[in-house]
A and B are shown apart, each in its own frame.
Chain A
């Protein structure tokens, strides 16, 4: 068993399951002399498709503060919000060099000054020491053309939560301007790869979606693969080679403890939690094949869902829990199949060129993302759950293992660069994110080579 290498804050427990409990958000009144958007009215000013074509110009001046520490924090908060909004590709933060007004919360914006530099929205804020190691962060979102406040909220929380406050504000901006929930207050669990290619040291690691706060969860004594977040608890299902017995484990992020999932004769792998978090779906090897099982976490009962004699693996539930997509070589080579949650009504959905693997169902339910293995390059793509409408988003020597962000708008996967020569020089594995329309592909920063990313739910 791997030793826990970090002391881990119980993140979700600490926040009691909702941002409201931890951050005590309070709505702010519109300052005198400014109008506010009707609270009940839909606030989206532009839809996501239009924002892709023309990212929303937004001004994000440093948050104000009465003292140097508050101003320094105000600068950092504005930086994190700016990076979140810029990286998603749907916003275009305006260069602060052009700002004429250093907006402070409560002040009515100089509408014409912001309009003149092309700002469609303004995010202003103020930071104040709330005593006892806590900070109060006020922010307001302004719609420049109609000259009104869209949102005003103040959060009070521990100083150390300042990055999360920034992500939560960026999520509010995303939701109020685009009309759907954001994904910035999230984390990525992945496998950190170090050491020679012949014997990579593979450690579980977790970081914020913007690569901050990276922590290694295991020390690399045993190889680990394919971590995936629980939908509501601070737990990760993954595969470990602990004691040379490759099996699925559950890692408790609060305690750092790991527990073996079930008792199996052979290898278990490819775990994912069900959408309600009550069970884990996985593969177990049996003779020449691998079958898919669902294991009830409370009772420990297992139910076998496939028995084709083939390799059935990489199962993933639909978000409503009624269907399971997986890959199988029952027809000769690897293809995607969908079946009912009880294992019935199996039908193949992939019919394009090549082999298909690692299907994951979008949290929105409308798409399945996959890896397509061509004879040369591989691809990351999406198709509808009935197999229609296939679109390829990214290609490369080896691109594998897509994972959806919670609102289903962005995929992350990993890209292997092949070795240049027989000694393995030039080989690397990196995380990459891409919008589901195939635009805004970007490398995700990690301190080591990285693979097997999985996105957390929102607020986790």
Chain B
């Protein structure tokens, strides 16, 4: 939870920097501006966001992992392998074009899809918790296709 504020800044930077399909952040997209002045501590939340990519995106009303999403999760699995003491929580989120209760379940499905992929890549299931916020934690505040695409996600955070 303590890292949520950072996540929000990252999302704002993403909004400002990107007009196309949402993509995982990398250090080269300018996120260094919001990282700690001395650079991310290896194995930290900032490190995950800046150098690995903390989130994957889904199509409307779906929880299938795209090839982009799998590439991000592959990097997350490698990073988690490098820092075996790190525990993470994956939060599943939805756009607001679904009803509240259904979206709670859909967000859980998305978080579980990301978790299951990481586990299949060798991350111990005991290191991962999941939570769904349905449509109640949007990272993009608008109401248009671009904002909704960013809000259909699973966000991995150091827990």
To the question of whether A and B form a pair in one complex, the answer is yes
Give the B-binding residues of A (Cβ under 8 A).
Answer: 197-200, 202, 223, 225-226, 239, 244, 246, 266-267, 269-270, 283, 285, 287-290, 311, 313-314, 327, 329, 333-334, 357-358, 371, 373, 397-398, 400-401, 416, 418-419, 421-424, 427, 451-452
Which of B8, B108, B112, B138 gathers the greatest number of chain A CB atoms within 10 Å? B108
Question: Which bucket holds chain B's interface residue count?
Answer: 20 to 34
How far is A427 from B141 in the complex, measured between Cα atoms in Å?
Answer: 9
* Cross-interface CB contact of A226 among B8, B61, B101, cutoff 8 Å: B101
Chain B residues at the A interface, C-beta cutoff of 8 Å: 1, 4, 8, 15, 61, 63, 96-102, 104-106, 108-109, 112-113, 131-134, 136-144, 147
**Distance of A202 Cα from B148 Cα, bound (Å):** 21
**Which residue of chain B is the closest to A327 with respect to CB atoms?**
B102
Nearest 10 pairs between A and B by C-beta?
A424-B141, A418-B143, A357-B99, A290-B105, A311-B105, A422-B142, A270-B101, A419-B143, A285-B108, A314-B101
User: Quick check: A400 and B106 within 8 Å, CB to CB?
Assistant: no
Would you call B142 and A421 a contact (CB within 8 A)? yes
CB-based contact A422/B112 at 8 Å: no
**Cβ contact within 8 Å between A266 and B108:** yes
Contact B99 A373 (CB under 8 A): yes
With both chains docked as a complex, state the minimum distance between the C-beta of B152 and any C-beta of chain A, in angstroms.
15
Query: Which of B101, B105, B108, B143 counts the most A-chain CB atoms under 10 A from its CB?
Result: B101
Distance in Å: Cβ of B57 to nearest Cβ of chain A: 17
Complex CA gap A333/B99 in Å reads 13
Per the bound structure, the CA–CA distance linking A358 and B142 in Å amounts to 25
Residues of A within 8 A of B136 (CB): 200, 202, 223, 225
Q: Is the CB of B101 within 8 A of A269?
A: yes
Give the CA-CA distance A246 to B91 in the complex, in Å.
12
Q: A397-B143, A416-B96 known; A283 and B101 CB under 8 Å?
A: yes
Contacts of B96 in A (CB 8 A): 398, 416
Q: Which residues of B lie under 8 Å from residue A244 when comparing CB positions?
A: 1, 131
Q: Whole-angstrom distance between the alpha carbons of A421 and B108 in the complex? A: 28
Partner of B109, one of A199, A223, A270, A311: A311
Measured CA separation A267–B109 after assembly (Å): 11
In the bound assembly, the distance between CA atoms of A459 and B159 in angstroms comes to 47
Shortest CB distance B63–A (Å): 7
21 contacts between A and B (CB under 8 A): A198-B141, A223-B133, A225-B134, A226-B100, A244-B131, A246-B132, A267-B131, A283-B105, A288-B113, A289-B105, A311-B102, A311-B109, A314-B99, A327-B102, A401-B99, A401-B100, A419-B141, A422-B15, A422-B140, A422-B144, A424-B142
Q: Are A287 and B105 in contact (CB under 8 A)?
A: no
Besides A267-B132, A269-B101, A400-B99, 16 new A-B residue pairs in contact (Cβ under 8 A), listed by A number: A197-B138, A198-B139, A246-B131, A283-B101, A288-B63, A288-B113, A329-B102, A333-B61, A357-B102, A358-B99, A371-B99, A397-B143, A422-B140, A422-B142, A424-B142, A427-B143
Within the assembled complex, what's the spacing in Å between the Cα atoms of A400 and B96? 11
Is the CB–CB distance between A267 and B108 below 8 Å?
A: yes
Whether B112 contacts A400 by the Cβ 8 Å rule is no
Decide if A313 touches B105 in the complex (CB within 8 Å).
yes
Q: Looking at the complex, which one of A267, A334, A416, A423 makes contact with B104 (CB distance below 8 Å)?
A: A267
Known: A198-B137, A397-B143, A424-B141. A373 touches B106 (CB 8 A): no
